[in-house]
Structure 1
Amino acid sequence: MKISIITVAGVSSRFNKDIADEKKILKCLYYDENPKDTLIYQMLKKLESYDKIIIVGGYKYSNLMEYVDKQISQELQEKIILVENDHFDDLSSGYSLYLGIKEALDNFDEIDEILFVEGDLDIDNESFTKIIESDKNVLTFNREPIYSNKAVVLYQNENDEYKYLFNSDHGMLNLKEPFKAIFNSGQTWKFRDMELLKIANDNFYNNSIEDTNLGIIQKYFDLIKNKEDIELIGLKHWVNCNTRDDYRFIVEYWRK
């Protein structure tokens, strides 16, 4: 069984900046004219080959449920499992990923892989297909410049281990060890070992529940002993949609 997880629980603060309260919206549901021109719709189309698609929501959760009910085909709806994160405003992104993984591991057996993608991304189809078709654990990187105030940094140290750096306060970053390579993370991952993933997920809940989703991800990849089981995939087109200008750029890309 192949399962994917999309997390869309956040309050979309930058996306809704200077917007009146009654007009604020869950970022992944925003569109100008066509209700299918949303981040969530386009991502779901990319994930049609998966057996189950777990969407973890929180902020404006009822709007998410309504959108799935009205805009998503019945065939695709049958694959979707909606999970509500009721700590979206007091815990970080890690809790959403924790809930998504827990939903998968608690309810399904013989899972071959879990693909996790953050719900505010737009990725080209060719690159995304490479992720889907990989038979390994997957790390991704994009080709954007690395700025400490917004990038999730992925680097490879002298022991060939992959490590992450991120400042949730959007301040400076400090890499404290020698490295062989450094990348801007594509914020999309594939997990192939469910036993290791359960260890990483349980460790997060018991020891670092206030951490970002990197708390689970870093632990999982640290547990993989054979680094040949990891594939690093570069993404040709990648946009992290933080603002409405970002959204308009994405729509222009779709039209082209």
Structure 2
Amino acid sequence: MDKIAIITVAGISSRFNKDVPNDEMILKCLYCQDNPEDTLIYRMLEKVSYADKIVIVGGFKFDDLIDYINKHIPEDIKDKCNLVYNDHFDDLSSGYSLYLGIEKSFNISNDIGEILFVEGDLDVDYESFENVINSENSVLTINPEPIYSNKAVVLYQNENDEFIYAFNSDHGLLTIDEPFKAIFNSGQIWKFNDMKSLKTANDNFKEYLLYDTNLGIIQKYFDLIEPENIDVIGFNHWVNCNTRKDYEIIKEYWRNNL
């Protein structure tokens, strides 16, 4: 059965490109200072190279993404890549990119065993990432950073052992209206191994949640499967690259650990 990885990199990267002239704006996952291998997309493609097929959903500066992959990604990985253009990258939220990635996955394989979904602006450590890959269950990931409502995606477990996400897209305060057993900062990487439930969640998104974030699909999926079929896996190193300062932190980590 095929293992598929989905990476979404469609966004405009407004914080990353803040105060940068329009003609110098860059797709965040392609940013580097000298070595073209020192990009978020290159490092993440190395991590997901185990997959039989890789789906990359782009939008902003899509031609630059195609050009980079053709020029800089090793042939054995490039041959697995299937690029999808999100023509609503500037007027719909992140959910539409995931929807397109899942739809493409079902189109390119009739025998899927699992789908890994990675947001394309992350850098994580290999050891923890391998724990996600090696899990036989569906996976929720968490990161070690403190939880601040203005930037965290909160994952909590309620009294019925259900896993629930809380996120304020306006970066304001968060409210949890029920008792909970545990609360985490989401690691923004997921693995799905129940394709029937995933298709149901994806179809539900298209019909009812088109303007939602990718959590619209993810929450529906994890609502449909039993808690005992879910592993929660933490990352030792996790950086969400929102700014060029974040990139410097990531590059220093690469320098010392790769």
- Distance (Å, rounded) in 2 between the aligned partners of 1:73 and 1:187: 26
Is 1:22 the counterpart of 2:23 in the alignment?
Answer: yes
Report SS of the residue matched to 1:188.
strand
- Distance (Å, rounded) in 1 between the aligned partners of 2:23 and 2:89: 19
Report the Cα offset of residue 2 of structure 1.
0.1
- Distance (Å, rounded) in 1 between the aligned partners of 2:75 and 2:212: 36
- Distance (Å, rounded) in 1 between the aligned partners of 2:248 and 2:197: 39
- Distance (Å, rounded) in 2 between the aligned partners of 1:141 and 1:75: 30
- Cα deviation, 1:18-67, whole Å, max 9, x if unaligned, reads 00111110000000010000000000001111000100000000000000
Alignment of 1:88-237 (within 5 A): 88-224=89-225, 226-237=226-237
- Distance (Å, rounded) in 2 between the aligned partners of 1:105 and 1:154: 27
Instruction: State the AA in 2 paired with 1:170.
Output: H
Report SS of the residue matched to 1:90.
coil
Corresponding residue of 1:51: 52
Report the Cα offset of residue 80 of structure 1.
0.3
Report SS of the residue matched to 1:106.
helix
- Distance (Å, rounded) in 2 between the aligned partners of 1:126 and 1:33: 27
Report SS of the residue matched to 1:88.
coil
- Cα deviation, 1:157-205, whole Å, max 9, x if unaligned, reads 0000000000111111111111000000000000000000000000000
- Distance (Å, rounded) in 1 between the aligned partners of 2:193 and 2:72: 31
Instruction: State the AA in 1 paired with 2:75.
Output: Q
Q: TM-score, normalised by structure 1?
A: 0.99
Report SS of the residue matched to 1:150.
coil
Corresponding residue of 1:251: 251
Q: TM-score, normalised by structure 2?
A: 0.98
Report the Cα offset of residue 110 of structure 1.
1.3
Corresponding residue of 1:11: 12
Report SS of the residue matched to 1:48.
helix
- Distance (Å, rounded) in 1 between the aligned partners of 2:37 and 2:108: 30
Q: CA RMSD in A?
A: 0.5
Report SS of the residue matched to 1:104.
helix
Report the Cα offset of residue 106 of structure 1.
2.3
Gaps of 5+ in 2: none
- Distance (Å, rounded) in 2 between the aligned partners of 1:101 and 1:169: 26
Report the Cα offset of residue 234 of structure 1.
0.7
Is 1:42 the counterpart of 2:43 in the alignment?
Answer: yes
Report the Cα offset of residue 109 of structure 1.
1.1
- 4+ residue stretches of structure 1 with deviation over 3 A? none
- Distance (Å, rounded) in 2 between the aligned partners of 1:122 and 1:95: 22
Report the Cα offset of residue 107 of structure 1.
2.5
Instruction: State the AA in 1 paired with 2:238.
Output: W
Percent identical pairs in the alignment equals 65
Instruction: State the AA in 2 paired with 1:125.
Output: Y
Instruction: State the AA in 2 paired with 1:171.
Output: G
Instruction: State the AA in 1 paired with 2:205.
Output: F
Aligned residue pairs total 255
- Distance (Å, rounded) in 2 between the aligned partners of 1:205 and 1:106: 16
